[in-house]
Amino acid sequence: MDEDSCMVDVAKFFLDFTRDESCGKCTPCRTGIPEMKQILTKITKGEGTIEDIPLLEELGKMVTAASLCGLGQTSANPVLSTLRHFREEYEAHIIDKKCRLRSARQCSRLLASIPVR
Ligand code: SF4
């Protein structure tokens, strides 16, 4: 991961890992992680809406607070952290339908844009 990484795609990558590792015992982790992943996939395809941002934050906080073990309790960190520090990248995907790194695997349908840093 470096300055050329799409942070929305990075968050999605980490959710893939925690979704695969989730044992499924508790509902917040079992259903919250796939739901966040689905929203991120929608955003990287250029189909996101501005309402997805507060929804992701709400879901992330719920999964963090209500999951039984450390895997679930930390699973939303990449989402919440990238939203906190790279919100403009989310907004570029949703509003401008642009990814500053068009070559990102899941953002290939979006237009490239000037870096938003
Ligand atoms: S938070 Fe832990 S116990 Fe709950 S489903 Fe995830 S991995 Fe299993």
Which ligand 1 atom sits nearest the alpha carbon of residue 72? 1
Range 109-116, long-range pairs (CB < 8 A, 24+ positions): 109/45, 109/46, 110/44, 110/45, 110/46, 116/88, 116/89, 116/92
Ligand 1, atom 1: closest residue by C-alpha: 72
Tell me which residues have their CB closer than 6 angstroms to ligand 1. 22-26, 29-30, 67-69, 71-72
pTM: 0.89
Angle between helices 27-44 and 7-21 (to 10 degrees): 150
Tens of pLDDT, residue by residue, the chain (117 residues): 888 889 999 999 999 999 999 999 999 999 999 999 999 999 999 999 999 999 999 999 999 999 999 999 999 999 999 999 999 999 999 999 999 776 555 576 776 664 544
**Gap from CA of 46 to ligand 1 centroid (Å):** 31
For the chain, domains (ranges, CATH) are 7-104 (1.20.1440.230)
